[in-house]
Amino acid sequence: MTAVLERETAPAVAPRGPRRGGARGRLLTVLLLGPVAAIALWAAFPLLEQGHWIALGVLAAATAGLFYLYLSPRHVPAKYLVPGTLFLLVFQLFPVLYTASTAFTNFSDGHRGDKRDAVVAIQTASVTRVPGSAEYVLTVATTGDPATGPLSFLVTDPATGRVSAGTAGGLRTLPPGEATVNAAGRVTAAAGYTVLTGGQAAARGREITGLVVPTAGGAIRSQGLTRAYEGRAGRAYDEGCDCIREAATGRTWTADDSRGAFIAADGDRLAQGWRVGVGLANFTRLITDPAVSGPFARTLIWNLIFALASTGGTFVLGLGCALALHSSRMRGRGLYRTLLVLPYAMPSFAMLLVWRDMFNTDFGLINNLFGLDVDWFGGAASARIAVILVQLWLGYPYMFLVATGALQAIPAELSEASKLDGATPWQSLRRVTLPLLLVALTPLLISSFAFNFNNFNAIYLTTDGAPFAADNPANGATDLLITYTYRLAFGGSGAQYGFAAAVSVFIFVIVAVISVVSFRRTRRQEEVYS
Amino acid sequence: MRWFSTVGWRHGVAVVALLFSLFPIVFVVSAALNPLGTLSSTTVVPRGASFGNFSRLLTDTPFPHWFLNSVFIAGVSAAASVFLSALAAYAFSRLRFRGRRPGLLALLLIQMFPQFLAIVAIFLMFSTITELWPPIGFNRSWGLILLYLGGALGVNTWLMKGFFDTVPRELDESATMDGASHAQTFFRILLPLVAPILAVSGMLAFIGTINEFLIANVFLTDTGAKTLPVGMYGLVAGERNSNFGMFCAGTLLTAVPTVLVFQVLQRAIVTGLTAGAVKG
């Protein structure tokens, strides 16, 4: 407002076109570009060291582009759009595209790396101890935090006293003097490594047993926490037949490059494969494989019901409360309002976990309070009712707030006029208030629907998909597509990243259709208002 | 009778709604104060009260660390994302340029792809980043903040653009006539006028980030680096029954920053929510 007043009272000046912010603006720009240059320089060094030339080129081009953009007077819209867009491209769009491309591969446990990785894994996994093989004194160390850092084996060859450090990537000999060895041959300290104490090593026993250090003829494995042996690979890659040959039996598994696996003549297939493109296989599996498509269709329908019921239920409840409190004759409205929105202020992740415990069959509050004995998360219907109830509780204060605001924006004269025309309160609500409210709240309802459609926390933190049918432990009655996807990708029964990515793409298509429809609506509205 | 049909029923509805709203919260308060601190011993009305759960939580667990991490991460990323989306909303609302419509649509579409659907890709990407630039890699707040800012444009640009559209264009046009640059118009004229929507967006982003579980769970594995959802989930994952009191104490403490933000911004939030909604 002050701008308008100043203009009216100020002496008339010749109107000037938009200009740049003058000397001060210039200075500010340069001051802001300084840190950009510093960050770019900081980011460049590791790239330079490791020889990532393409990434370095992208970084240089991006930095130069930023400098050009903010030092030139042109491209004003881009000046405002670029900062957010940069983050969007790097941390949102790139992962999304990467995910989409994963949907066309067989990327999964056992199909992670390339063929060479698979061969190394097969060879090291088949290592067995042969009589008379070399035995080493073992010290377990790490290059990071003793509890979580990556493990290394420091092995001392008792014959030569030489110390080597081994990881899953291979073995390298440490230069003499870098490691301190005690009389028993154990390494007590080594440059760049933290030696684990007995307790720390014991706590990570399974990781230590699982660590295999590939060597030229086989691999080094641990035996207990203080000794290691070098064994021979029972299976080896034979380049001539492009196959894996088992030394003891002479059996072969031939590489199949379209499936990314080594397969024997009788159809037996080795667990370790590599990543290849499989075209639309993941998508066709989703639609045609009866073991997958049946549960998937049920999940999709429940997902839609869940989103609709959560959004619609919170809206009806919130609107009802807002209407009840929307009267100037009522006392204590402020207090009611403050207390009603308290659930909205509570941390939802924690309250979801609290609700999970309130539905506990044995000592849950719900059963105790109402004298029930319901196994809430044991039956499909009760579990579904329970999760929707929780969503109502979490979501309706927001709708209440929004509806309260929207009600206040509707002129009181309208409902008074309808009252004079002889309308009952119900009629005036149906015909006057509600249509106006819906115009205002539709965009919020759509975005609330989209949010609930992918409401991961709501399911993961309460039922975690339960109850599960006995014949399908991957897909529970309350699972949403998103929790189902998460289980496919990170679940206990082996990660299926490729397939999970296909489901993600599927979800994206559904939500995109919904949002394009909503976009049409907002476009019409924008034309009305602007 | 007449009183009931005009005002009384309203109190009735409100009281029922209050009971529904408050009983889980009362339950949490009661569990937090319960000296036994177990789920099975907790009732709605507390039996006895002590602050034992609170002191155990603050001294025996890294809760203070988690709390600071969460407030820092949520605070910084909320502020930064509000700023980034305000910049974009200004461009979309006030400037006309080629690709404005497609840009808006693209924003909506990309936003509809929840970031955590791409969690595998994000994990692989940050494995490389952690190797190259440890300060923004796994287990660092800054890495997570950067990641959350990837969604900054989508989160509130639409809400803000709707609100920006309601501010009369004459205001910034006159400022331009007076010789203000576009940056001056944006920072001096427009931003102060749209403060309510900035408050709303900021609070929504803050609440959203402080509750974010999935990405943080993959991202933060060091005990000291965890945020509240990750840390507190671990608290009840194994010892669910016996840690319940501490967990509820933690829940109440977690609510404090949100309630504070909410109380301070309440008026702005109600206006902002409505106006943004009306103009969609």
Provide ipTM, 2 decimals: 0.87
Cβ atoms B31, B39 nearer than 8 A: yes
Is A460–B258 a contact, with Cβ atoms under 8 angstroms apart?
no
Does B279 have pLDDT greater than 50? no
Question: Residue B109 is nearest to which of A25, A507, A512, comparing CB atoms?
Answer: A512
Residue A115 token pair: 């063929």
Distance from CA of A97 to the nearest CA of B (A): 9
Span B87-132, pLDDT tens digits = 999 999 888 888 888 888 788 777 767 777 788 788 888 888 998 8
| B residues 121..150 contacting A (CB < 8 A) | 121-122, 124-125, 132-133, 146-147, 149-150
Is A515 near chain B, with CB under 8 Å?
yes
Is B16 near chain A, with CB under 8 Å?
no
pLDDT at A525: 57
Residue matched to tokens 């599996």? A285
Distance from CA of A11 to the nearest CA of B (A): 11
User: Which chain B residues touch A401 with a CB distance below 8 Å?
Assistant: 269-270, 273
Question: Residue A84 is nearest to which of B152, B259, B270, comparing CB atoms?
Answer: B152
| A residues 122..151 contacting B (CB < 8 A) | 145, 148
DSSP bridge pairs for A139: A154
Is B115–A92 a contact, with Cβ atoms under 8 angstroms apart?
yes
Is A345–B259 a contact, with Cβ atoms under 8 angstroms apart?
yes
- Phi (first) and psi of residue A311, to 5 degrees: -65, -50
Q: Report the 10 Å Cβ neighbour count for A503.
A: 25
Is B257 near chain A, with CB under 8 Å?
no
Is B28–A354 a contact, with Cβ atoms under 8 angstroms apart?
yes
Is A19 near chain B, with CB under 8 Å?
yes
Cβ atoms B201, B159 nearer than 8 A: yes
Nearest one of A315, A483, A300 to A392, comparing CA atoms:
A315
Is B121–A95 a contact, with Cβ atoms under 8 angstroms apart?
yes
Is A91–B150 a contact, with Cβ atoms under 8 angstroms apart?
yes
Distance from CA of B273 to the nearest CA of A (A): 6
- For chain B, helix, strand, coil in percent to 5 are 80, 0, 20
Is B153–A349 a contact, with Cβ atoms under 8 angstroms apart?
no
How far separated are the first and last CA of chain A, in Å rounded?
20
Residue matched to tokens 């409100």? B14
Q: For a pLDDT cut of 70, what percent of chain B falls above it? A: 92
Distance from CA of B62 to the nearest CA of A (A): 16
- Report the alpha-carbon distance of residue B272 to residue B85 in Å, rounded: 16
pLDDT at B16: 92
Nearest one of A184, A246, A172, A177 to A214, comparing CA atoms:
A172
- Report the alpha-carbon distance of residue B190 to residue B91 in Å, rounded: 12
Question: Residue A81 is nearest to which of B24, B91, B166, comparing CB atoms?
Answer: B91
Phi-psi region of A529 (alpha: psi -120 to 50; beta: other; left: phi over 0): alpha
Q: Are strands A151-156 and A235-238 parallel, antiparallel or unpaired?
A: unpaired
User: Which chain B residues touch A402 with a CB distance below 8 Å?
Assistant: 273-274, 277
Span B203-228, pLDDT tens digits = 888 888 988 888 898 888 888 899 99
Q: Report the 10 Å Cβ neighbour count for A88.
A: 24
Is A94 near chain B, with CB under 8 Å?
yes
Give the chain A residue nearest B38 (alpha carbons). A363
CA distances from B31 to B241, B245, B250 (A): 11, 5, 11
pLDDT at A10: 38
- Report the alpha-carbon distance of residue B107 to residue A522 in Å, rounded: 14
Q: Is B275 helix (H, G, I), strand (E, B) or coil?
A: helix
Is A486–B151 a contact, with Cβ atoms under 8 angstroms apart?
no
Alpha helices in A10-113 (DSSP H): 22-50, 53-71, 76-88, 94-102
Is A440–B10 a contact, with Cβ atoms under 8 angstroms apart?
no
Is A431 near chain B, with CB under 8 Å?
no
* Half-sphere exposure of residue A459: CA atoms within 13 angstroms, side-chain side: 29
Residues of chain A with pLDDT under 50: 1-20, 528-530
Q: Is A469 helix (H, G, I), strand (E, B) or coil?
A: strand
Q: What is the mean pLDDT of chain B?
A: 84
Q: Report the 10 Å Cβ neighbour count for A68.
A: 11
Q: Is A263 helix (H, G, I), strand (E, B) or coil?
A: strand
pLDDT at B278: 38
DSSP string, A152-210: EEEEE-TTT--EEEEETTEEEEPPTTSEEE-TTS-EEEETTBEEPPHHHHHHTHHHHHH
Is A26 near chain B, with CB under 8 Å?
no
